[in-house]
Structure 1
Amino acid sequence: MRIAFIARATLYTTPGGDTKQIDFTAHYLRTLGVEVDIFPTDKPIDYTQYDLLHFFNIIRPADILGHIEKSGKPYVVSTIFLDYGEYEKKARGGVMKWMNKIFSEDQIEYIKAIARRLKNGEKIGSSKYLVWGHRKSIQYVAKHAGILLPNSESEYRRFAKKYNLEHAYRVVPNGIDEKVAKQVSKRNPKYENAILCVARIEGRKNQLNLIRALNNTQYRVQIHGKPSPNNIGYFEQCKKEAASNIHFSNWLTEEELYEMYHSAKVHILPSYFETTGLSSLEAAVMGCNIVVTDKGDTVDYFGKDAWYCEPDDTRSIKAAVDAAYQAPYNPAFRERILKEYTWERAAEETFTAYKQVLKD
């Protein structure tokens, strides 16, 4: 079986959670005997070499439609269905705040696709996207997929409700690399009992409110990540407001990253939206207590094993960190992650979906 993974053009120039999902899923599919090649959506593909196409990020149908038309191949979609609604309405500033008062979310995504074409040269693969618009394009991609592969039941239900459709799906959980999780990392005094936030630095991840909540507290806070290209100003604002107990890093060796997780006390993602929060899973399995928000699908993964905060309430963020810091670590949570949320399991579920589609 030979599969083509097709993902956004900026998959490696601006890496995110989808980059890790794609790379690890491909790796573990290969261990199952599946041949996998990864293509940015703007690169030519010899479709005849593949049994099936696997797309990622259904919120970017402009990337997908052209490949569907040209290939004539069966396909599946890892939906990775992000919803920027609350962030756009509550925390966005400038032009985007104004646009959100006038246009629907789908209309804004359509405008963004056009803007990426004009500003960054990102291709729109099919003229149908320009004619149909964003919403109808997503509905078309979903309805004609062999199967949808959301990362949780919650994600599928959100998607089905918003786009008024029901379709065959199989939950493929996000995960951690079990081999890495089971390696023993030494403790690093620099991060001992610290508060961590490991994520791309951008408004949706909400590092600025985290800084405002924990400035000049007893906590040593380590924010690790790079700003996305459109959030350089946000990053500068974060650095400007950060007190002396807030520290930034944008590059660590793999060994240092695991030392940081292993040494810290709490990991927090106070995001306005997460389908999972991969760094939360990684930190949890390495011994951190977890603070997240319930915006998105995090409850499906973390349940009662995390502390929850409101992203736009700095007192809520501080209270959740306080509670998580004072609580003992629960080893049963680690065992649950190792059982339910690994990339090996994600690959197995994906492989089962492929066989179902190709059999049908």
Structure 2
Amino acid sequence: MKVLFISRASLYKVPGGDTIQMEQTAAHLQRLGVRVDIRLADDLNIDYAQYDLLHTFNIIRPSDILFHLQKSRLPLVVSPIYLEYGTASNEAYNPMLKWLMNRLGNHRGEYLKNVGRAVLKNEHIRSWKYYYWGQHKSIAYILDHCAMLLPNSENEFKRLKRDFPVAGDYSVVPNAVDLELFHFEETTRDRNNTTVLCAARFEPRKNQLNVIRALNHTDFEVTFVGAPAPNHHQYYQQCKAEAADNIRFIDFTTQDQLAALYREHKVHILASWFETTGLSSLEAAACGCNIVITDCGDTKDYFGTEAYYCIPDNLQSIANAVIAAAAAPYHKTLLQRIQQQYSWQHTAKETLIAYQRVLNK
């Protein structure tokens, strides 16, 4: 079996959780005997005839999918990674931008951003139909012509089905952790209860600014790891400007260094406006952190009752969740569940089963 992975043109220039998901899924599928090629959406020189399946990622960028879906004529599998950016008009900390996003709504706002990227960043929209159909109709078309959806959780599919009733056959394939790199070590279990870590790219959706405001001038020693997203240097500078002396910033780290940081801290926080998973939270939990995470999105499908949930726009809620997580013992039952259900080996096996279902139809 040979599979073509297609994702956004900026997959490596602006890496994110989807970059990790694609690379790790591809690597572990290859261990199972599946040949996988990763190509970017702006690649126009693809010999589709050599592939059995087309697997695309990020349904919120339908313009990246339409061209290859229609040109390849291959059975399509989609990992939707269905973020609801509309729920985070709050992420637009600029008042005028926030007003505009609220007026436009979720899908029209995303349409405007996609067209803006094409004009300002030369991220070409290859399918003219996207300009004509817009965001919502383009997504609906893809879902109607999709052989199988691979949402990261049951709740993600429910949200997608709510917004697009045409969404059909699916199989939940969870996000996962590289357990060879991110793992718990007994020797690091005694940690300073005042240590808090946040590993995430700096952008308003990740809500670092409210975490800073909630934990400024407290007894917590807070470390932020991550560089600013390309369009959010101003947000990064605002975070640094408001940070008190108990806050520090690390803008670059290797994966090995990140794993070491997870093992040094008692709490990991991701108080985002929306998360489908929160990959860094899974990694941190696997390394022994107690988890504080947003209650917005699909996070409860992963963390259940073994995390401390916060409301992104409530500073007291953020602070209370961190205090509770810092005082609590480590949730080893969460570690056991991660080891059993959220390894990339498990994810690859579930993906292969889905591929076989599609090809056997």
Q: Bin the TM-score by the shorter chain.
A: over 0.9
Matches within 5 A, 1:1-360: 1-44=1-44, 45-89=46-90, 91-182=92-183, 184=185, 194-360=195-361
Any conservation in 1 of the 2:212–2:243 contact (CA below 8 Å)?
yes
Any conservation in 1 of the 2:77–2:149 contact (CA below 8 Å)?
yes
Q: Cα RMSD over matched residues?
A: 1.8
Gaps of 5+ in 1: none
Any conservation in 2 of the 1:152–1:173 contact (CA below 8 Å)?
yes
Deviations 1:61-90 (A, max 9, x none): 011101111111111000000001221147
Return closer, same or farther for 1:190/1:307 CA change in 2, 3 Å cut-off.
Answer: closer
Partner Cα separation in structure 2 for residue 318 and residue 183 of structure 1: 26
**How far off is 1:97 after superposition?**
1.2
Any conservation in 1 of the 2:285–2:335 contact (CA below 8 Å)?
yes
Return closer, same or farther for 1:101/1:192 CA change in 2, 3 Å cut-off.
Answer: closer
Amino acid at match of 2:321: A
Identity over aligned residues, as a percent?
49
Any conservation in 2 of the 1:267–1:290 contact (CA below 8 Å)?
yes
Any conservation in 1 of the 2:174–2:347 contact (CA below 8 Å)?
yes
Return closer, same or farther for 1:21/1:170 CA change in 2, 3 Å cut-off.
Answer: same
Partner Cα separation in structure 2 for residue 140 and residue 55 of structure 1: 14
Partner Cα separation in structure 1 for residue 15 and residue 189 of structure 2: 26
Deviations 1:149-204 (A, max 9, x none): 10000000001101233400000000101222347497599988510000111100
Deviations 1:244-298 (A, max 9, x none): 1100002123332111111110000000000000000010011100001110000
Any conservation in 2 of the 1:294–1:308 contact (CA below 8 Å)?
yes
Amino acid at match of 1:207: Q
Return closer, same or farther for 1:185/1:5 CA change in 2, 3 Å cut-off.
Answer: farther
Any conservation in 1 of the 2:216–2:243 contact (CA below 8 Å)?
yes
Secondary structure of the corresponding residue to residue 305 of structure 1 = coil
Structure 1 length as normaliser, TM-score? 0.96
Any conservation in 1 of the 2:214–2:318 contact (CA below 8 Å)?
yes
**How far off is 1:330 after superposition?**
1.9
Deviations 1:208-247 (A, max 9, x none): 0000000111011000011111111000000000001100
Q: Which moved more, 1:158-167 or 1:262-271?
A: 158-167
Partner Cα separation in structure 2 for residue 104 and residue 273 of structure 1: 16
Amino acid at match of 2:253: L
Partner Cα separation in structure 1 for residue 312 and residue 287 of structure 2: 24
Partner Cα separation in structure 1 for residue 310 and residue 235 of structure 2: 21
Secondary structure of the corresponding residue to residue 284 of structure 1 = helix
Q: Which moved more, 1:83-92 or 1:102-111?
A: 83-92
Q: Which moved more, 1:322-331 or 1:251-260?
A: 251-260
Q: Which moved more, 1:335-344 or 1:174-183?
A: 174-183
Between the two proteins, the alignment pairs up a number of residues equal to 360
Partner Cα separation in structure 1 for residue 296 and residue 95 of structure 2: 23
Secondary structure of the corresponding residue to residue 181 of structure 2 = helix
Return closer, same or farther for 1:311/1:183 CA change in 2, 3 Å cut-off.
Answer: closer
Q: Which moved more, 1:248-257 or 1:77-86?
A: 248-257
